[in-house]
Amino acid sequence: MQAILALEDGRIFRGTSFGASTERSGEVVFNTSLTGYQEIFTDPSYAGQIVVLTNPHIGNYGTTPSDAESVKPFIEGLVTREFSPVCSNWRSTQVADEYLERYGVPVISDIDTRAVVRHLRANGVMRGVLAAGDNLNEQELVARARAIKKMEGTDLASKVTTREIYVWNAEEPRNQTGDSLLPATENADRETLHVVAYDFGIKQNILRMLTRENLRVTVVPATTPASDVLAMNPDGVFFSNGPGDPEPLEYAQQNIRAIQGKKPMFGICLGHQLFGLALGGKTYKLKFGHHGGNHPILNHRTGKVEITAQNHNFNVDPASLPADVEQTHTNLNDHTLAGLRHKTDPMFSVQYHPEASPGPHDSHYLFRDFRTMMEEWKK
C-alpha cells in the first residue's frame, strides 16, 4: 500500500506503507540516533510529533517490553528509509511492524529521508500529515496539515501524565545472564531517601536511575499542587521531561516557586525549561529542535565534554536568566543553554537526557549529584 507524507508548505513524499493503515498528523521532526528506535517510539516527549529517523535501517532488531520507555508508543507517525517487516534478535518479542500497527501508528518507508531532513533543516520543523492508502488526495492532505494546531502555546504534558499517584517499583532491566543493565552504584547501602517525581511525560529509565541511587520514588500527576507534594515530606522533588511548549504550564511554574528553597529539586528537559521560566527567564522555540543521541555538551564546572541524548523543541534563553542563576552546561553544536543551577537554593536542571537509554551514559553522574544534594540538605 502507498503512503504519503504531506507537509504544510506543500512538499510531498511518497513511499510504502507499514504499521497502521491510517492517517495521523503532527509536527514533523528528525532524530539522528543510530540505535534505540523503540525508546524513541515510546518516549512521551514525542507526543504530537511525526518522527523522521536518519538511520536508514529501522525495525531490524524488533521490539521488546524491556526497551519501552512507557506503556505505549507516543509518536504520531514514523518516517524511514528502509523499514524491516521482519527482525532478527534473541531479545525481540514482536516485530516493529506489528508493534506499531497494534497501537495505530502509521509508517512510511522507501523514501529519501535525507531529503526530508535537509528540507526541515533549511525551513524549520513544520506540521505534516502521514496517511496510508492508494487513492489519497495530496492537496487535501496539505490542507489538513496547515490546519493542525501549532506546538507553540500547547500544553501536552497534562495529556500524557499519569492520572494517579503511584510508587515506582519495577525491576531493573537485565541481560541474558541475569546481570543488571544499569551501572553499579555506591549508594546501595546508604539510607533510602524519598523523592517525589512530577510526571510531565516521564521515561521509565529515569525512574530506574533514581532507584539505582537508593531513592524511593513516588510519581505524581503533572498538576499536583505543591502543597500536596510538600505534605509527603520528600527528601527531594524531581521534574521530568515531557512534550509541548513549557510556557502554558503555569501550574508547574507556580509549583516550582512554591517548593524552591524548601526541598532540593532536579529537572530534566521540560523540567529544565520550567525551572528557567519559574526563575524569571524566558523560553523560545528552536528552528528544528535537538533530537538524537550524539549531542556534545560542555560542562563548565569540570571542563569536560559529555556526549548526550536530547529530545526537545524549546530552549531557555540564557540572557533572560537573573544573576542568581549559574549557567552550568552549553550545547557545543549551537551554543544554546544546556544546564543551570541556582546559586543559593538547592536546584539544578539540564536540557538533555542523562538517563539515556540505550545511551550514551556520560551524564549518569547527575543522579548521584541529586542524591548528594539531598544528603547535604538534610544535615
The alpha carbon dihedral of 337, 220, 264, 360 has a sign of: negative
3-state DSSP call for residue 336?
coil
All three cell numbers of 215: 531513592
CA angle in degrees (0–180, nearest 5) for 332-341-151:
65
Query: Residue 366: CA atoms inside 13 Å, Cβ hemisphere, count?
Result: 29
CA 188 to CA 190: how far, in whole Å?
6
Active site residue 355: yes
The residue type at 358: P
Active site residue 306: no
Task: Report in angstroms the alpha-carbon separations of 379 from 55, 322, 374.
Answer: 49, 28, 9
- 291, 329, 353, 364: which one is catalytic? 353
Kindly report the length of the chain: 379
- 269, 312, 342, 361: which one is catalytic? 269
Number of H-type helices and E-type strands within the chain: 10, 19
DSSP line for 339-355: EEEESSSSEEEESSBTT
CA 228 to CA 16: how far, in whole Å?
50
User: Of 61, 52, 18, which is closest to residue 33 (Cα–Cα)?
Assistant: 52
- 119, 272, 355, 361: which one is catalytic? 355
User: Of 312, 316, 274, 276, which is closest to residue 295 (Cα–Cα)?
Assistant: 312
User: Of 22, 24, 79, which is closest to residue 56 (Cα–Cα)?
Assistant: 79
The alpha carbon dihedral of 365, 371, 375, 378 has a sign of: positive
Active site residue 57: no
The set of catalytic residues is: 269, 353, 355
